[in-house]
Amino acid sequence: MLENLSFRKLSSFVLIVLLLVAGVFAAGAYHVNLTVNEINTAWLSFKSQHAEKARLETTLRATLGYGGMIHDFKNYVLRKDFEQLASLQKSLGAAQAIVEQYLALSTTQAEKLVLDDIQQMIFQYQEGLRAARGEIKKGKTSKEIDKLVRIDDSYALRGLDVLHEEIITEYKYYNDRRQKPVLANAIRSMLGYGGMIHSFKNYVLRGDDKYFMKSIESIQGAEEFISQYYQLEHTLGEKTALEDIVKTLEEYKNKLDIAKKMIKKKASPEEIDKVVQVNDKHALRGLTTLEQDIILQIETKSEQLSHKLIEIRKQEALIAYFIVGMILMVSLYLFMLFSKRIIKPVLELSHVMTEMAHGNIDIEYSYSATARTELGDMARSLKIYKENEGKRRIAEEEIRRLAMTDPLTGLANRNRLESRYHELVSHAKREGRLIAVLALDLDMFKPVNDEYGHAAGDAVLKGVARNLLLAFRDTDLVARVGGDEFVVILYGPENIETIKDVAQRVIKLLSAPVLVNEDLIMIGASIGIAILKPDATDPMDVVMKHADYALYQAKESGRNTYRIYDGEGDAKADKVTLVHQIQSDPDTNKS
């Protein structure tokens, strides 16, 4: 009987009881709500200060910057001191570990891209360290070593800025310059990687005035943040730490002037470094003190928050006992009825609907779809919706797969090729990378169909597809656009030599015999290549025309080889220069 009790009958039954307790409950709820809002505000602030990404970003800046990797690296180049080498190796290892921890978190696509840039920078410094050690053993000067191991930090610096912007987007707290952790991190940024110490060491090594100006700007930026820190309520320890940092910055400003004079006198970097060395111990200790004081203040806030939570629990208990005492005798049965027959099913079905609205149609629920109530109607509707949505998704996925995939090989088809081409061109333009389009045509394939049949030809095409997928990266695209015609978009090759190596490797790979039904079938491949510079805006049909022309030239040159299109302007044949050719063993060039 209770299972078929409708909402209309139940609402009439409980109306009087609800009116009696509503006043008392509302008063208690209002009081609790005020306290909860206060705690919620404190919790959001506390949560932001403990955000894992923000912690890792701050730690990464500290590891890379002042007193860290870049500081040790430049000192090693200048002083060739084994002690600096040990510290540098430790900093590089720590930076790599922090990036790996960051990647283990839930990261956006933008964060993944810039973390890859930072990893590349760390790898370059590791390679630079190896090179520097070799040059030091050869007795090379600091200027010579610096010229050899010079690294472009712009991508990594941009990456750090992107990470910070992502954190600000998620936690507004980190955009508030009235917060001590924010100011402490800003001071570190101004002093470290891409900041004062980076520019100062580069100025000593290279004597370029742009590093002098960058050093001055970074020092002024750090002093501005320190000034803002002073305006906040601070402890004696924080005041002493800030004073140590300010004194160190003053010393660096003085040393900059000395370095400038020595550079004008053509002094060597080693001579300048000996004169302008600064004891960073006090400033580094000051930065550590700021962080420790901030941690202590956060722990104090945590304790205060815990006390507030204890108080609210006590208040909730008192209010709950009072309300329960009033309504226990008259509403026990009502509570059980609502909990079992209404609240639990409504929450379950509401959760199911929310999950389905977010795309999760595989969620299960226990409420019976046979009940003759409003909730039963909901359950039946959800069941029908779930079945229909599942069928629709399967159909859409199949349509999408067929529209973008070659049915024989499983490779991308021409539709997917055109779509991916525009995506990669856009990425390459932003990142300043090359793109190579390879038009690939199988040699000696027609005799396969004629002699062994189309089934054997299909098996060969599938084998070629598998080999091409193994030969290229996930960032590249392999597509089949015709019978034995394939197109590969190679994203971000370092230079033309890389493209040539890839073409040679593919030709060698596809020249190997293919086993079909116990027969060894020999084929080969000819490749035409068109290269797009980062600023290129050629539409796909023009690029394919270039690659096809180069492919035609490869076929004409004996097959099983490749050609690179190097035209200026349009794709007219009389404006084409074939810049390179590589042929494999002469016996395999013949179709």
Q: For residue 32, what are the CA distances in angstroms to 93, 307, 316, 327?
A: 50, 15, 7, 19
What beta strand segments (E) does 53-143 contain?
none
In this structure, are 123 and 236 located in the same domain? no
Q: How far is the C-alpha of 196 from the C-alpha of 248, rounded, in Å?
A: 12
In a domain? residue 469? yes
Under 8 Å between Cβ of 45 and 173: yes
**Tokens 């500290």 sit at which residue?**
62
Q: How far is the C-alpha of 562 from the C-alpha of 579, rounded, in Å?
A: 11
In a domain? residue 348? no
Torsion of Cα atoms, 177 then 179 then 184 then 185, to 10°:
-70
In this structure, are 127 and 114 located in the same domain? yes
Which residues fall within 8 angstroms of residue 163, CB to CB, at 6 or more apart? 53, 57, 60, 102, 111, 114, 115
In this structure, are 432 and 506 located in the same domain? yes
In this structure, are 225 and 126 located in the same domain? no
**Domain with 498 in it: what CATH number?**
3.30.70.270
In a domain? residue 5? no
pLDDT of residue 5: 55
Q: Whole domain around residue 68: which residue ranges?
A: 51-175
Q: How far is the C-alpha of 461 from the C-alpha of 463, rounded, in Å?
A: 5
Residue 406: CB atoms within 10 A of its CB come to 21
Domain end, chosen from 279, 294, 323, is at 279
In this structure, are 137 and 249 located in the same domain? no
Residue 192: CB atoms within 10 A of its CB come to 26
Under 8 Å between Cβ of 1 and 337: no
First to last CA, the chain: 84
Q: What is the pLDDT of residues 180-217, one digit of tens each?
A: 888 888 998 999 999 999 999 999 999 999 999 999 99
**Tokens 């609402």 sit at which residue?**
11
Q: How far is the C-alpha of 160 from the C-alpha of 118, rounded, in Å?
A: 8
If we measure between CA atoms, which residue out of 158, 165, 157, 136 comes closest to residue 148? 136
If we measure between CA atoms, which residue out of 565, 571, 503 comes closest to residue 539? 571
In a domain? residue 23? no
Q: How far is the C-alpha of 296 from the C-alpha of 308, rounded, in Å?
A: 19
Q: For residue 331, what are the CA distances in angstroms to 327, 335, 339, 580?
A: 6, 6, 12, 90
In a domain? residue 326? no
In a domain? residue 372? no
Q: How far is the C-alpha of 377 from the C-alpha of 244, rounded, in Å?
A: 72
User: Looking at residue 566, what DSSP letter applies?
Assistant: -
In a domain? residue 404? no
Tell me which residues are annotated as active site.
Answer: 484
Under 8 Å between Cβ of 481 and 468: no
In this structure, are 170 and 205 located in the same domain? no
Under 8 Å between Cβ of 39 and 308: yes
Angle between helices 196-206 and 236-264 (to 10 degrees): 20
In a domain? residue 131? yes
Q: How far is the C-alpha of 554 from the C-alpha of 589, rounded, in Å?
A: 10
The answer to whether the pTM exceeds 0.85 is no
Question: Tens-digit pLDDT profile for the chain (591 aa)?
Answer: 455 555 556 666 666 766 776 666 666 666 666 666 666 555 555 454 446 888 888 888 889 998 899 999 999 999 888 777 888 889 899 999 999 998 888 888 888 999 999 999 999 999 999 999 899 889 899 999 999 999 999 999 999 999 888 888 877 777 777 888 888 889 989 999 999 999 999 999 999 999 999 999 999 999 999 999 889 888 888 899 999 999 999 999 999 999 999 999 999 999 999 999 999 999 989 888 887 766 666 666 667 766 776 777 777 777 767 777 777 776 677 677 777 767 777 777 788 778 777 877 777 766 655 566 677 777 778 778 777 877 877 777 767 767 788 889 989 999 899 989 999 999 999 999 999 999 999 998 888 888 888 888 898 999 999 999 998 999 999 999 988 999 999 999 999 999 999 999 999 999 888 877 777 888 899 999 999 998 888 899 999 999 999 999 999 988 899 999 977 533 333 333 333 333 333 333 333
| Number of domains present in the structure of the chain | 3
Exposure string over 334-364, b if 16+ CB within 10 A, otherwise e: eeebeeebbeebeebbeebbeebeeeebeee
Q: How far is the C-alpha of 223 from the C-alpha of 71, rounded, in Å?
A: 20
In this structure, are 78 and 112 located in the same domain? yes
In this structure, are 107 and 213 located in the same domain? no
Tell me whether strands 519-521 and 524-532 are parallel, antiparallel or unpaired: unpaired
In this structure, are 168 and 182 located in the same domain? no
Mapping DSSP to helix (H, G, I), strand (E, B) and coil, where does residue 348 land? helix
Under 8 Å between Cβ of 248 and 283: yes
In this structure, are 153 and 201 located in the same domain? no
Mapping DSSP to helix (H, G, I), strand (E, B) and coil, where does residue 584 land? coil
Under 8 Å between Cβ of 148 and 276: no
Domain end, chosen from 122, 152, 175, is at 175
Got the DSSP string for 195-247? SHHHHHHHHHHH--HHHHHHHHHHHHHHHHHHHHHHHS---HHHHHHHHHHHH
Domain end, chosen from 279, 303, 338, is at 279
In this structure, are 189 and 163 located in the same domain? no
pLDDT of residue 590: 32
Residue 131: CB atoms within 10 A of its CB come to 13
H helix or E strand, kind and range, residue 242: helix 236-264
In this structure, are 131 and 204 located in the same domain? no
Under 8 Å between Cβ of 440 and 411: no
